[in-house]
A and B are shown apart, each in its own frame.
Chain A
Amino acid sequence: MNRKIRVLVAKPGLDGHDRGALVIAQTLRDRGMEVIYTGLRQSAAQIAQTAIQEDVDVIGLSSLSGAHKSLFPKVMEELRKREAEDIPVIGGGVIPEEDIQFLLDHGIQRIFTPGTPMTAVADFIEEKVQGDSV
């Protein structure tokens, strides 16, 4: 690895719960990654645009408002429009089990639900990025 892993942590939609996103961001920084946090109320287009500008390796989406089934696929669509669908996207938040398959079918790589250790998220990102770069 020549460069640090770059991660975009994003809050799509109107949800204001950012405790999880902020804690994840700091955990990833402590693991030596570079983390860009978007702040609240980002549109899908803004998130895709930022991901490309910042040349990130992974995008992490956080939603606790129940709007994930509408918002996460929209981010995927905006990435595709910009031919950036190769950037892996992961998600987390209050997401019922029964919605997970739907999100995976829309191209999200992995959904982390409440209670997941932060280290598991960091491990997943490292494996994903290093695996892809081999």
Chain B
Amino acid sequence: MSEHFTEQKKIWEQQSEKVKERFPERKDPFTNLSGIPIEPLYVPQNESNYDDYAEKLGFPGQYPFTRGIQPTMYRNRFWTMRQYAGFGSAKETNERFRYLLDQGQTGLSVAFDLPTQIGYDSDDSMAEGEVGKVGVAIDSLEDMEILLDQIPLDKVSTSMTINAPASVLLCMYIAVAEKQGVPKEKITGTIQNDILKEYIARGTYIYPPKPSMRLITNIFEYCRDNVPKFNTISISGYHIREAGSTAVQEAAFTIADGLAYVDAALESGLEIDEFAPRLAFFFNAHNNFFEEVAKFRAARRVWADLMKNKYKAQNEKSWRLRFHTQTGGSTLTAQQPDNNIVRVALQALSAVMGGTQSLHTNSRDEALALPTEESARIALRTQQIIAHESGVADTVDPLAGSYYVEQMTDEVEKQIREYLDKIEDMGGAVQAVEEGYMQREIHQAAYEAQKRIESKEDIIVGMNEFTTDEETHADLLKVDEKLEQEQIERLGEIRANRDQQLVDERLRDLKEAAEDPNENLMPHILACVKAYVTVGEICHTMRDVFGEYTGA
């Protein structure tokens, strides 16, 4: 018998027991409807395959993590069901959050409006027409206090889709938690904080790459010492895919970005194991079911290898690629929108089969507008049906050993590595972004995909085939147009009522800190937000020092 296999198996059994002590299995025993018992894990039956298995797949929770990062995956606990939400005012969004938590959602995910994401206050001329449209408007700490009102920050983990001003919003979150009596050491959640994919695909950048990378490493360092349970970055392939990339490009460019952050943090003097365990990832799930599953499994294997063997991380937690998944927004059709429920179910299933740690399922009406409450509920129910009714979560990585899935996983891995080599030759992801390399690759893939749709080589049900006479879409969510004015008025009141002398002092201090590249900006930003300095004021101060990015 293979020694490697036997040793891994023993460790897996021990680790599984440990998990069970904390989180008992969901059922005892697990059986299907025919009464057949379901094992937590299935492995090759033929001993001659043990060596190969141990090397390429391994046991879940162990290097190279092909089968998942935890020993028991969903046998004990399902993935976190985390629906991205936010629109209009902090008060409205707070109500939606509390509704979702009541409905069984297990984590929060905040969508901010574009002015907040790009560091403009609601009363800035650049913000006109955009306030509260694609997410919630946050100007000062007061908005954050309203947003998180009555939400226990010691229990709920919160993901914030915020990048260029991630430091500011994290500081606001810390400040609100402290007001609730929750120390910053205890709060959990994730900031997206992934600026490279903003340049590549998403567009909410503010500063040029160099100071942006500094802010990111400042956050890593600050959180290592003060906010140890927060994920300091969510390295995102989601938007790269939405912009038109292939599945391989999504995984490859995301990992390349991840390596750039690792390099920047090492360069700033951090040790790999001090920050790598807090790196998180964020992927997309599109319609090609097995391709998606293979992508998730391959990405885990590549990252583990790089962290362990190239970067010599010692802590096993540094090797684990933990990820959130969102189903593919760009796959949704405006035509026959109810069909999107089925697309989302298939995509969500691929994420679960791929071993995701948390999941957002899109709503059927998102090609038309932000989701209504009813659509958002169906999206959450879709995850709950997969979890509770389908049985797919009853054993770990059930697709392992499929000739197709394993070979596809190998092939996706190979192609990811080819891209990584190419990007390394170019000087790394930052260089590749500045040269527009990834942007061009993505755009080319998007254009080819569009041509295949128009020639009907690719069929999109309800859109270029199986069409019906267009129905009208009732019941779309509308953001109240008055909101912008109300938000501006409230902001005016905050400015009038705060201690302006303190504000000026804090901003001067921030400016000085920004001018010194060796200073960590986080404590200075935290002092600002506590004095009700606004997102726009903080970001403008840093703009003055750092300049603005204007495109590749």
- Taking Cβ atoms with an 8 Å cutoff, the residues of A that contact B are 13-19, 22-23, 26-27, 39-41, 43, 65-67, 69-71, 74, 94, 96-98, 113-115, 117-119
B 37-74 to A, binary, CB cutoff 8 A, 1 in contact else 0 = 00000000000000000000000000000000000000
B 102-145 to A, binary, CB cutoff 8 A, 1 in contact else 0 = 00000000000011011010000011111001100000000000
Give bound CA distance, A127 to B446, whole Å.
Answer: 26
Give bound CA distance, A43 to B124, whole Å.
Answer: 13
Query: In the complex the two chains form, is B551's CB within 8 Å of A118's CB?
Result: no
25 example contacts (A-B, Cβ-Cβ < 8 A) are as follows: A13-B129, A15-B130, A15-B203, A16-B114, A16-B198, A19-B242, A19-B243, A19-B330, A19-B443, A22-B446, A39-B551, A41-B126, A65-B134, A66-B134, A66-B479, A67-B129, A69-B129, A70-B129, A94-B369, A96-B476, A97-B472, A115-B335, A115-B367, A117-B454, A119-B454
Give bound CA distance, A39 to B551, whole Å.
Answer: 8
Min CB–CB distance B337 → chain A (angstroms): 10
Known: A14-B115, A66-B369, A66-B370. A23 touches B450 (CB 8 A): yes
Residues of B within 8 A of A113 (CB): 334
B interface, over-half SS = loop
Say yes or no: is B385 at the interface (Cβ < 8 Å to chain A). Answer: no
Min CB–CB distance B127 → chain A (angstroms): 8
Query: In the complex the two chains form, is B446's CB within 8 Å of A118's CB?
Result: no
Residues of B within 8 A of A23 (CB): 244, 443, 446-447, 450
Say yes or no: is B312 at the interface (Cβ < 8 Å to chain A). Answer: no
Contact of A13 among B130, B244, B333, B334 (CB under 8 A): B130
Residues of B within 8 A of A69 (CB): 129, 481
Give bound CA distance, A119 to B130, whole Å.
Answer: 30
Say yes or no: is B368 at the interface (Cβ < 8 Å to chain A). Answer: yes
Residues of B within 8 A of A22 (CB): 443, 446-447
Residues of A within 8 A of B551 (CB): 39-40
Give bound CA distance, A74 to B128, whole Å.
Answer: 11
9 A-B pairs with the lowest CB-CB distances in the bound complex, closest first:
A16-B203, A70-B129, A14-B114, A67-B129, A66-B133, A114-B334, A67-B130, A115-B463, A114-B367
Residues of A within 8 A of B479 (CB): 66
Query: In the complex the two chains form, is B114's CB within 8 Å of A15's CB?
Result: yes
Give bound CA distance, A118 to B455, whole Å.
Answer: 11
A15-B114, A23-B446 known; 8 new pairs, CB 8 Å cut-off, are: A16-B114, A16-B203, A16-B204, A19-B242, A19-B446, A39-B551, A70-B129, A115-B367
Min CB–CB distance B368 → chain A (angstroms): 6
Min CB–CB distance A46 → chain B (angstroms): 12
Give bound CA distance, A14 to B122, whole Å.
Answer: 13
Min CB–CB distance A95 → chain B (angstroms): 9
Query: In the complex the two chains form, is B450's CB within 8 Å of A96's CB?
Result: no
Known: A19-B243, A115-B333. A65 touches B114 (CB 8 A): yes
Query: In the complex the two chains form, is A18's CB within 8 Å of B330's CB?
Result: no
Give bound CA distance, A114 to B366, whole Å.
Answer: 11
Known: A22-B443, A65-B114, A115-B333. A17 touches B203 (CB 8 A): yes
Residues of A within 8 A of B473 (CB): 96-97
Min CB–CB distance B84 → chain A (angstroms): 15
Give bound CA distance, A48 to B334, whole Å.
Answer: 30
B 359-383 to A, binary, CB cutoff 8 A, 1 in contact else 0 = 0000000011110000000000000
Residues of A within 8 A of B244 (CB): 19, 23
Residues of B within 8 A of A40 (CB): 203, 551
Give bound CA distance, A23 to B367, whole Å.
Answer: 18
Query: In the complex the two chains form, is B203's CB within 8 Å of A94's CB?
Result: no
Interface residues of B in 324-344 (CB under 8 A from A): 330, 333-335
Say yes or no: is B202 at the interface (Cβ < 8 Å to chain A). Answer: yes
Residues of B within 8 A of A66 (CB): 133-134, 369-370, 479
Min CB–CB distance A121 → chain B (angstroms): 11
Residues of A within 8 A of B367 (CB): 94, 114-115
Query: In the complex the two chains form, is A96's CB within 8 Å of B368's CB?
Result: yes
Residues of A within 8 A of B204 (CB): 14, 16
Give bound CA distance, A59 to B101, whole Å.
Answer: 45
Residues of B within 8 A of A118 (CB): 450, 454
Query: In the complex the two chains form, is A96's CB within 8 Å of B369's CB?
Result: yes
Give bound CA distance, A65 to B57, whole Å.
Answer: 43
Query: In the complex the two chains form, is B368's CB within 8 Å of A14's CB?
Result: no
Residues of B within 8 A of A17 (CB): 203, 242
From A19, A97, A117, residue with most partner B Cβ within 10 Å: A19
Give bound CA distance, A27 to B454, whole Å.
Answer: 11
B 166-205 to A, binary, CB cutoff 8 A, 1 in contact else 0 = 0000000000000000000000000000000010001110
Min CB–CB distance B453 → chain A (angstroms): 8
Give bound CA distance, A5 to B135, whole Å.
Answer: 38
Residues of B within 8 A of A26 (CB): 443, 447
Give bound CA distance, A27 to B130, whole Å.
Answer: 29
Give bound CA distance, A94 to B332, whole Å.
Answer: 12
Query: In the complex the two chains form, is B447's CB within 8 Å of A65's CB?
Result: no
Min CB–CB distance A32 → chain B (angstroms): 16
Nearest-CB residue, chain A, relative to B332: A114
Give bound CA distance, A134 to B550, whole Å.
Answer: 40
Contact of A65 among B130, B368, B463, B481 (CB under 8 A): B130
